[in-house]
Amino acid sequence: MSTGHTPVSPHPDQPDVHLVVTLGGVRLHYAACVTCALWFVQEHHQRHLLDQVDVIPGSTAGLRRLPNERLYEP
């Protein structure tokens, strides 16, 4: 369900990074601010709930934001 709202970064002063989250063999591509991405990766390393998380170089144009990105703020 679309609300017509475009999510914005919780830290617009920081660059976004491209996250690739692999879950059940499916690769999901998201944009996230660098701080939230680092916390997300750290949580993955502690809990291993996902198959894999990668931060890859390149543009984040056209990517959806990481769902509930604000939950990964310090």
Domain boundaries, the chain: 16-72
pLDDT exceeds cutoff 70 at 68: yes
Length of the chain: 74
pLDDT confidence band for 64 (50 / 70 / 90): very high
Please provide the DSSP assignment of 35-47 as one string.
HHHHHHHHHHHHH
- Output the six-digit token pair for 10: 């919780």
The pTM for the full model equals 0.83
For residues 53 and 11, what is the distance between their CA atoms, to the nearest angstrom?
Answer: 21
pLDDT confidence band for 5 (50 / 70 / 90): low
